[in-house]
Amino acid sequence: MLIARLIAETETSETRLDALVTALGEAGVQVTAAALPEGDAGVLELHMDGSGEGAVLAAIDGTFEATAVLVARGAIEVPRLFVSDMDSTMIGQECIDELADYAGIKERIAEITERAMQGELDFEAALRERVALLAGLDEGAIAACLAERITATPGAKTLVATLAALGTRTVLVTGGFHHFADPVAEMLGFHRVVGNRLAVEGGKLTGGLVGPITDSAVKAAVLREELATLGEGAHSLATGDGANDIPMIEAATYGFAYRAKPKARAAANGRVDSEDLTAVLTLLGVPREDWREG
């Protein structure tokens, strides 16, 4: 059984629902039950016989202006594990791009970042190239960048705090840097941080990295490693926006693409195209009275 939940931009009418049911039927998916939104929740829920989350998502894209959607196999429940990307997911910025602005090379580095997140460049090579361009930058620019530039994504604190209160293990795993990720994780309430380490000597960035690289394979491995400690049948949630998040998103029970690049969006069975991450809580069925502000 497949279950789809979606939050639509416009009022959910029976006409739109009929169009969706027809589109799903043409894709070989039979709708067995549908519940129109009631009250303030604004969530349309469908139960379906068939397989292929992709076909369901495509049908929804063709009939609704959905701001958030989740298609899952079996009953949707609060996950035991939440693993998330940081840059442009839990925070609204790409840290390395903002840090590059202090070195006067933001445009040059941002172009490489965008291509890497689109999946056009090898992640590790692109990361090392960008870090090398920061050689000689004063380490103090990191603290200034954190204070002046880095802000939480709308709803991020509530999402993390609520899941943690419900017993979910939360892990921030980033292709960015511990210099940023550690304070961001503390701000948002994550239990664990995995990321890359900038090399610093004499108070300045060397242009190198210390230790192994946190790339797409590591992100997925962290999810599987954490999940293995929670016992058989535990559900997982992952959020990310770029190509290096795809293996992690695909490995999760509920893999959400947040305002994502096309390749990441296509790989996900959950999507948040609006700004507010509390849409994830709504789609998981967590009542508003259980939300925590963090």
Q: At 18, which CATH number?
A: 3.30.70.260
Confidence of residue 52 (pLDDT cuts 50, 70, 90): confident
**Positions marked catalytic:** 85, 87
- Structural domain contains residue 7: yes
pLDDT at 14: 79
Structural domain includes residue 191 = no
Q: What residue numbers bound the domain in which 20 lies?
A: 1-76
Q: Per the domain annotation, does 72 fall within a domain?
A: yes
Residue 127 pLDDT class (50, 70, 90 cuts): very high
Whether 69 is covered by a domain: the verdict is yes
**pTM of the predicted model as reported, rounded to 2 decimal places:** 0.95
Name the domain count of the chain: 1
- For the chain, give the secondary structure using H, E and C: CEEEEEEECCCCCHHHHHHHHHHHHHCCCEEEEEECCCCCCCEEEEEEECCCHHHHHHHHHHHCCEEEEEEEECCCCCCCEEEECCCCCCECCCHHHHHHHHCCCHHHHHHHHHHHHCCCCCHHHHHHHHHHCCCCCECHHHHHHHHHCCCECCCHHHHHHHHHHCCCEEEEEEEEEHHHHHHHHHHHCCCEEEEEEEEEECCEEEEEEECCCCCHHHHHHHHHHHHHCCCCCCCEEEEECCHHHHHHHHHCCEEEEECCCHHHHHHCCEEECCCCCHHHHHHHCCCHHHCCCC
Q: How confident is the model at residue 12 (pLDDT cuts 50, 70, 90)?
A: low
61 within some domain: yes
202 located within any domain:
no
